Every structure is written in structure tokens, then in C-alpha cells.
Structure 1
């Protein structure tokens, strides 16, 4: 399953860090420790520490989100999907879990599910630029599927459809090459989108975003 994270980077943008507004400072060290273990490639240890924390703080959205990202990186896609899905159920006002759930669906070519998740993300936060970008990519993927189906059903449509398919495929090919080039530069380490979400105590407030 190690191929899944690579597939994600070639399709949509995964949110890798969520900051819960008003989170107790005592918990910030726990979040930082788990993130540091994950960045160091110690995913098993990171998951163990996250689970230990969640054993006493089972509803903490930040740690659950971090755990979902670690599971994604570890190629444990089904577990990551379950984690983000439960977050959307417990905290439907937070857009980031919807975004990452969509990325996982898109990596499995489940573009209808990805579209639905992203539409929920932008509904909960109309200013969520990452989700809008991902939604555009999903629409393009769905368009490609429709064009391919048109040719399959009626070969006479090939003349009009083929240029459109070529354009979409070249777009994603160029995007993938651009991401590989960016990953080769030190600046890429700071390019991951940072998402801000409301804390459980302020669940009725609108999520804020950091640029």
C-alpha cells in the first residue's frame, strides 16, 4: 500500500497539519511530539503515542486528524478513511477532514465520493482555497471519465472528444511534474497547506483559516 501517498501527491492536495484554535497549551507538546515522530519516519511510534493520548482524550479532533494523516502516509488507507469519516461525523463543521477524505477517495479513483466530500468542505468553509483547488481537479477527472465513456459508447465522438481528453491528461501530467520539481527544493518543505479548525469547545463557531 506504499504507493497510495505517491498517488495522492499526483492528484490532490492533502492537508498535513491542522491547528485547533484555543487548544490547551499542555496538549500542544503532545501534538508536536507525535508530529515529530511521524516526520522522522517513526510512524509506528507516532501512532502508538497518538493512540495513548486518545485513550484519555478520545474526542480530541486535532490528534485524531494527525492520526489520520499518519495512517495515510503509512499506506493504511482503510484506517485513514475510517478516521477522517468519523471526524466528519463528530465535527461536521470542520472542512479539513472532508478534504483529506476526498484525497483518499480520489487516490482510489472514487471521484464521485471525492466530489461529495469536497463540496461539504467548501460548504462548511466557503473560503477554503485548498478544497476549491481539489474540487476543480476532481471535476476534471470526472470530465475525463465522461469523455472516455462517450467514445466507448459511440466511436464517432472520438474526433471531438480526443482533444479534450488530451488536454486534461496533459494538465495532470504537467501538474505531477511540477510537484516533483517543487519537492526537490528546500522551500517545498514549507509549502504544505496549514488548516485551522475550531476547537470542540467552540464547535458552533466558523473555522478560521491561516493563509
Structure 2
């Protein structure tokens, strides 16, 4: 069902943000036919040094690691500390918004994401996440404004096109506007959006001949994570 899509997009956005902030993964070694050499006993690992107070990048990376391992309280405290020491940075507020949204603390999430956008009006990730929070609180007009602003920043932002299309179809009763956004999403995805083809066909069938056309059979559900 499409009602779960905004939640999925929020999870996808979080995964993308963590990937962007966290570096590359470990490459698996290639299997070898040679016998393994005897390795010395591993030494006890030394604890990682705490990043310097005036090192925002190092502190941000440490906070993202806390997000990854589920230490939400510690991550929130780390990002709050960053907002106090570096009040002009948009990123820590975006991450706070993600953490608050994950806890369903909607007002706190909206406040953090709004601050992120105030500091950086071109923060399309924050704009997308803020719009999702507005939808969940029933403020559809503000959600539309946030997604339109995100698309002003990046006209090819696929997540914003998809979410805006769903908003127009499900909440604002604007089927033609929904089709426009779904088509834009398909274009941004390079045509790889079969589920959206079904949605467009359903809308067109419902609006043809006054809504008396036969409904298009639903296709199997496809994964929609970005």
C-alpha cells in the first residue's frame, strides 16, 4: 500500500545520509589457494581518541557512528553539542531531525529541520524530511511548499517528485498534478519505476469517461527504496 511510502523514503534518506557521512565499506579479501601464514597474536586495540573540540568534521563522524549502532541518546547529545559550538552549520540540525523523526518526536523534528533549512535553504534532504513530517501532522500545504522548494534547489530530485505526486493524488485530490510528478520521477530514475507506471495508469483510468473506466489490475508490489 502506498500509505507506507513516506516512512520508507525517510528510512532511505537516512541510509543515504549515513553512507555519505560514513566512508566506504570493507573490501572482502580474495580467496587464495596458498596456505595461510601464521599470524601473530592480535594486540589489544587501543580506544579511538576523542575528536578535538574544534574539529567539527571529526565530531560529526563520531556522532554518525553513534547513529549507526543505535545509540540514539548519545547521538542526539553529540549533535546538540555541535549545534552549540558551530551554530552556523546546517548538517547537525538535519541529523537531529532524522533522529527525532525516528522517535516520532514530530515537533522536535520539525524544529530541527526548519533550523537546518534556515541555515541552508538549499538543503534538499532537510526539505524532503520536513515535508514528510508535515504530511504526518496533516499540514499538506506546508508539505507541498517544502517539496516545491526542494525541486527548486534540484529539479531532478527523485524523492521529492515521488512524494509530491503521492501528496497530490492521496491528500490534495489533484490527479493531473500527481501524474506530472510521477512522470518527472520516472524521468529522474531513468525510466526504472514500474510501480509508478501502474499508479499513473490507475489515475488515468479513473479520470477517463468520468471515472467509469475499468480499473487497471494491480501489479505485484515492488521495492521502492532509493
The bucket for the TM-score relative to the shorter chain is 0.5 to 0.7
> Is residue 90 of structure 2 the alignment partner of residue 95 of structure 1?
no
| In structure 2, C-alpha distance between the alignment counterparts of 1:98 and 1:33, rounded to whole Å | 24
Contact 1:11 1:137 (8 Å CA) reproduced: no
The aligned counterpart of 2:166 is 137
Which structure has the larger Rg over C-alpha atoms?
A: 2
Residue from 78, 99, 102 that aligns with 1:49: 78
Tell me the CA shift for residue 162 of structure 1.
9.0
For residues 147 and 123 of structure 2, the distance between their equivalents in structure 1, rounded to whole angstroms, comes to 12
Contact between 2:132 and 2:143, CA under 8 Å: does it hold in 1?
Answer: yes
In structure 1, what is the equivalent of residue 207 of structure 2?
none
Deviations along 1:48-107, one digit per CA (max 9) or x if unpaired, are 111122221112111121111111112211011011112222211222211111111112
Q: 1:112 & 1:57 partners in 2: Cα distance?
A: 32
Q: 1:119 aligns with which of 137, 148, 153?
A: 148
> How has the CA–CA distance of structure 1 residues 68 and 134 changed in structure 2, closer, same or farther, with 3 Å as cutoff?
same
For residue 135 of structure 2, what is the aligned residue in structure 1? 106
Establish whether residue 58 from structure 1 lines up as the match of residue 58 from structure 2. Answer: no
Equivalent-residue separation in structure 1 for 2:137 and 2:3 (angstroms): 9
Structure 1 residues 162 and 109, CA, compared in 2 at 3 Å: closer, same or farther? farther
- Aligned partner (choices 4, 10, 21) of residue 5 of structure 2: 10
Q: Provide the rounded CA distance (Å) in 2 between the counterparts of 1:52 and 1:46.
A: 10
Partner deviation per Cα, 1:128-169 (whole Å, 9 max, x = no partner): 1211111111111135599xxxxxxxxxxxxx56989x88xx
TM-score, normalised to structure 2, is 0.56
- State the distance in 2 between where 1:53 and 1:163 align: 56
Distance in 1 separating the partners of 2:155 and 2:104: 30
TM-score (norm 1): 0.60
Ranges in structure 1 where 5+ consecutive residues have no aligned partner: 1-6, 21-25, 147-159, 183-190, 194-211
Number of positions where the alignment pairs a residue of Structure 1 with one of Structure 2? 154
Equivalence for 1:78 = 107
Structure having the higher helix fraction is 1
> Which of structures 1 and 2 has the larger relative contact order (alpha carbons within 8 angstroms, sep 6+)?
1
CA-to-aligned-CA distance 1:4-61 (integer Å, 9 cap, x gap):
xxx98533622221758xxxxx433322221221232221111111112222111211
